[in-house]
Amino acid sequence: MKFVHIADVHLDIPFTTLEKRNLAENRRLEQRNAIKKVIEYIKENNIPYLFICGDLYEQEYIRQTTIDYINRLFETIPNTKIYIVPGNHDPYIKNSYYVKFKWAPNVKIFTSKLEKIEEENICIYGYGFEDFYMKKSEYEDITIEDKGKINILLTHGTLDGSRDDASLYNPIKKSTLRESGFDYIALGHIHKNSYNDEEGQRIVYPGSLISLGFDEQGSHGMILRRN
Ligand SMILES: [Mn+2]
């Protein structure tokens, strides 16, 4: 099965360091361009699923024009199912675009209530932020019903966090995930990409789609699964 997994796009982030040199707006256009390239790849290669694992935009700064822009992109891939889990920068709150905007019909937005979507050969479980913090979630109680299918979990959170604030951002334990039986855990939140593969279970942070600061060196982009 094929899918594309991205996270932490942070559309319309202020880029305060660049603002002093009048370069912030350029970089915001590069953010738009990066997501456009992802959508074009999906369209050219008929990828059936796109997973966006939180922090798609900045709740405080996002502009209506940017939402219109990405929704128009989503409309260009009507055969691709787009699953979005809200993160701590784009929580599912009352005045958010997730709640008040009419998204393209191929877009599904998860809430903090764990939900399962059954497809032909895969099951997709997802939950996200409903506030700027999430100390607890239901992920420990998930039981996979159909092990014959590919089971995927989408969320935004902190895997085995060690920093003091880790417990505020949906703390998740690798050991609990291992018992859960998911095949692929699609995460967002950590801006550096990382890939963990143990006994066939993959836990993946794609990292931020493009670098969002001088502290985000190294490679950035999307994750593609082809088989
Ligand atoms: Mn983020």
In Å, how far are 62, 129, 178, 199 from 57, measured between CA atoms?
6, 13, 30, 34
Let me know: does 143 contact 158? Beta carbons within 8 Å: no
Phi, psi for 180 (deg, rounded to 5) = -65, -30
pLDDT tens digits for 34-49?
A: 999 999 999 999 999 9
pLDDT band at 166 (very low <50, low <70, confident <90, very high): confident
Ligand 1 centroid to Cα of residue 90, in Å, is 9
Ligand 1 centroid to Cα of residue 160, in Å, is 17
Across 13-40, average pLDDT: 93
Ligand 1 centroid to Cα of residue 111, in Å, is 17
Does the structure show a pLDDT above 90 at 53?
Answer: yes
Across 135-149, average pLDDT: 87
Ligand 1 centroid to Cα of residue 189, in Å, is 5
Of the candidates 130, 122, 133, the one whose C-alpha atom is nearest the C-alpha of residue 158 is 133
Percent above pLDDT 90 for the chain: 83
Does the structure show a pLDDT above 90 at 20?
Answer: no
Ligand 1 centroid to Cα of residue 46, in Å, is 28
pLDDT tens digits for 56-103?
A: 999 999 999 999 999 999 999 999 999 999 999 999 999 999 999 999
What does the DSSP 8-state code read for residue 98?
Answer: H
The residue assigned the tokens 């050991």 is 175
Across 96-118, average pLDDT: 97
- State the greatest distance between any 2 C-alpha atoms of the chain, in Å, as a whole number: 55
Q: How far apart are CA 203 and CA 194, in angstroms?
A: 8
pLDDT of residue 21: 86
pLDDT of residue 163: 78
Q: How far apart are CA 105 and CA 87, in angstroms?
A: 21
Domains belonging to the chain, first-starting first, are 3-212 (3.60.21.10)
